[in-house]
Each structure stands twice: as C-alpha cells, then as structure tokens.
Amino acid sequence: MPWYWILLIVIVVVVASALITSMRSKRAVTMLSEEDFKANYRKAQLIDVREKGEFDSSHILGARNLPTTQLRNRYKELRQDLPVYLYCENGGRSSRTALFLKKKGYTQLYALEGGFKNWSGRVKSTKK
C-alpha cells in the first residue's frame, strides 16, 4: 500500500474522531452568549477551567479555579444540584470539561461561548 493511502486513512480517522468528540460535547453543555452567561452565573457555580497561572493573571470576578488537569481528582468539589457555569480561554477546554462532568452525573452544564477572550464583564486582575 503506498504511503499516501496510509496518510489519507490517518487523516480521515483523526478528523472523524474530532467530529465525534465535538458532537458529544455539544450534547453535554449548553453554550451561552456573554449576555445569557452574565444573566445567571451569579446564581451558579462559576468555574474557570484554565490553568492556575492563567487564572491568577485575570479571571471573571467570583470564579473558582478548577483546571482541567486536576478535574479527575477534584470534580466532587462541585455540587450536582446547582448549575455549573464553565469557561476557559476560547471554549475548547470548557466543552471537554462538560463532557467529563456529564459522564459523572452533572446535568446543568453551561459554557461561555467564545471563552474568556470574548468576556467584557468584570474581572479580577493581578497587577504586575
């Protein structure tokens, strides 16, 4: 079999896997516009899933940091009876986090569309 057929097969498998993951993530989380996110996040658990350094430099006022790299050990810190509002830098990590939490029984999962980079609301920043 020529090398280019093998390369084509690998590309097809990778793309198919990415599409399946994307579709599963969309079923696990409700994406909210910034306006809708702002309307209700104070009544929910507001979780920043970025790494500690990203969170420390700037985050949405009132958010807790629960990095995706620590999720498997810390997800039980979240209450299942309250909505969970997630955000990351651009939306990818929060979608993967929602997929994980859905598997663990969480049902009220919401994510900020476009992530923190599109946030125009109040933030807490560390001055350098």
Which pTM does this prediction carry? 0.80
Domains with residue ranges and CATH for the chain: 28-121 (3.40.250.10)
What number is the average pLDDT over the span 99-111? 95
Q: Residue 45 has which token pair?
A: 């658990």
- 91 secondary structure, DSSP code: S
> How far is residue 107's CA from residue 122's CA, in Å, rounded to a whole number?
27
Give the residue numbers marked as catalytic.
88
What number is the average pLDDT over the span 44-71? 96
Amino acid at 70: Q
What number is the average pLDDT over the span 62-86? 97
| pLDDT score of 51 | 97
Q: Which residue has the higher pLDDT, 80 or 25?
A: 80
What is the distance of C-alpha 82 from the center of its chain? 17
Kindly tell me if the per-residue pLDDT of 128 is higher than 60. Answer: no
